[in-house]
């Protein structure tokens, strides 16, 4: 889906781009001095000067991602976020150029934005998917006989998987996402129809009758269990409740410490209690089948 900015937004974007491109670049020593002032003194003026000098890096990177159909202004702003992250993390003691370091953060921030907004379906949830998203079209064009008008060939998928060092399943999944396109469930079946695609999706939820039956069955089983528990001694009831009827199961050892017996004795009492429970429930439901 292509997003088109309105006239005012386009005008503002152009004004920002002209302003950013007219900023003077910094010498290496000046970059390091500003970075140290920010790191050591939290000098915000130094931070702003460092960032503003390299807004052109965000603009240049945005131009490489504009073919994904996203607003150029949004891409630039995401690049600026990456630029700010670079400034916050930059270590001047490593004697690197800030511009080189910032370029990676700008590109990474912009890639994440593209992945979040390119499709209504989440794309690039793993490192392999992210790499495939930004390289698959290029590889498909470079590899001979990799694709047909209907999609990638089996040989093409294997070559791309090998080239990118990813699983074949990852290639197949990304192929579906990249070349399948998004479709609205509110779209009509055809130009002459009033029925929407969503009207033909099956409702897999249980119907009201099944819900009521399930509730009644749960109530009945609960009543059977509560009645059967009365056939146990107090200690046996405690063991069954703490071993089987709580969200966090108590270990045999911990229960043994509480009751003042060994964990092996707890295990024996548990088995005996379970057997008594089964017999008590069978008496209640006979001749109704338990399962």
Q: What percent of the chain has pLDDT over 90?
A: 26
Looking at residue 258, which CATH number applies to its domain? 1.10.10.10
Residue 189 banded pLDDT, cuts 50, 70, 90: low
- Please check the confidence at residue 127 and state whether its pLDDT lies above 90: no
In the chain, how many domains are there? Answer: 3
End-to-end CA distance of the chain: give it in Å, rounded: 53
pLDDT at site 41 = 92
Is residue 35 included in any domain, yes or no? yes
- Say if residue 107 is in the same domain as residue 170: no
Choosing from 85, 117, 149, the residue where a domain stops is 117
Is residue 276 included in any domain, yes or no? yes
pLDDT at site 163 = 77
pLDDT at site 105 = 93
Convert the pLDDT of each residue in 277-287 to its tens digit.
Answer: 888 888 887 65
Is residue 227 included in any domain, yes or no? yes
- Say if residue 280 is in the same domain as residue 261: yes
pLDDT at site 224 = 85
pLDDT at site 118 = 66
- Say if residue 40 is in the same domain as residue 18: yes
- Say if residue 11 is in the same domain as residue 112: yes
- Say if residue 225 is in the same domain as residue 268: yes
Least confident of 97-101, 131-135, 209-213, 285-289: 285-289
More confident residue, 87 or 5: 87
Looking at residue 49, which CATH number applies to its domain? 1.20.120.1810
- Average confidence (pLDDT) over 229-253: 88
Is residue 74 included in any domain, yes or no? yes
- Say if residue 138 is in the same domain as residue 212: no
pLDDT at site 180 = 55
Choosing from 162, 180, 198, the residue where a domain stops is 180
Is residue 255 included in any domain, yes or no? yes
- Say if residue 169 is in the same domain as residue 237: no
Choosing from 117, 139, 156, the residue where a domain stops is 117
Q: What percent of the chain has pLDDT over 70?
A: 81
Residue 104 banded pLDDT, cuts 50, 70, 90: very high
- Please check the confidence at residue 291 and state whether its pLDDT lies above 50: no
- Say if residue 46 is in the same domain as residue 82: yes
Residue 120 banded pLDDT, cuts 50, 70, 90: very low
SS3 per-residue string spanning the chain:
CCCCCCHHHHHHHHHHHHHHHCCCCCCHHHHHHHHHHHHHHCCHHHHHHHHHCCHHHHHHHHHHHHHHCCCHHHHHHHHHHHHHHHHHHCCHHHCCCHHHHHHHHHHHHHHHHHHHHCCCCCCCCCHHHHHHHHHHHHHHHHCCCCEECCEECHHHHHHHHHHHCCCHHHHHHHHHHHHHCCCCCCCECCCCCCCEHHHHCCCCCCCHHHHHHHHHHHHHHHHHHHHHHCCCCHHHHHHHHHHHCCCCCCCHHHHHHHHCCCHHHHHHHHHHHHHHHHHHHHHHHCCCCCC
- Say if residue 149 is in the same domain as residue 81: no
What is the average pLDDT score of the chain? 81
Is residue 291 included in any domain, yes or no? no
More confident residue, 7 or 275: 275
- Please check the confidence at residue 37 and state whether its pLDDT lies above 90: yes
Is residue 98 included in any domain, yes or no? yes
- Say if residue 20 is in the same domain as residue 104: yes
More confident residue, 207 or 32: 32
More confident residue, 288 or 248: 248
Range of the domain at 137: 127-180
- Please check the confidence at residue 254 and state whether its pLDDT lies above 50: yes
Is residue 201 included in any domain, yes or no? no
Convert the pLDDT of each residue in 150-177 to its tens digit.
Answer: 567 777 778 877 777 778 887 777 776 6
């Amino acid at each position: 889906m292509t997003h088109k900015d309105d006239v005012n937004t386009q005008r503002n974007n152009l004004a920002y781009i002209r302003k950013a491109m007219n900023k003077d670049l910094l010498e290496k020593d000046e970059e390091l001095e500003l970075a140290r002032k920010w790191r050591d003194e939290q000098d915000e003026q130094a931070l702003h000067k460092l960032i503003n000098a390299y807004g052109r890096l965000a603009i240049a990177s945005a131009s490489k991602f504009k073919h994904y159909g996203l607003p150029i202004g949004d891409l630039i702003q995401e690049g600026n976020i990456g630029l700010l992250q670079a400034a916050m993390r930059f270590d001047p003691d490593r004697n690197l150029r800030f511009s080189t370091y910032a370029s990676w953060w700008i590109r990474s921030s912009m890639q994440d934005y593209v992945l979040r907004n390119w499709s209504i379906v989440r794309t690039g949830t793993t490192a392999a998917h992210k790499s495939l998203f930004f390289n698959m079209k290029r590889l498909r064009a470079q590899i001979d006989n990799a694709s047909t008008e209907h999609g990638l060939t089996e040989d093409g998928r294997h070559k791309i998987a090998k080239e990118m060092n990813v699983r074949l399943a990852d290639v197949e999944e990304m192929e579906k996402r990249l070349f399948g396109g998004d479709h609205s469930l509110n779209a009509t079946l055809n130009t002459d129809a009033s029925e929407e695609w969503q009207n033909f999706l099956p409702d897999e939820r249980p119907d009201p009758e099944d819900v009521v039956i399930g509730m009644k069955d749960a109530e009945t089983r609960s009543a059977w269990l509560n009645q059967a528990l009365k056939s146990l001694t107090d200690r046996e009831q405690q063991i069954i409740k703490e071993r089987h009827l709580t969200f966090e199961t108590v270990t045999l050892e911990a229960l043994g410490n509480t009751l003042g017996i060994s964990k092996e004795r707890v295990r024996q009492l548990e088995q005996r209690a379970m057997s008594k429970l089964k017999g008590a429930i069978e008496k209640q439901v006979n001749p109704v089948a338990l399962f």
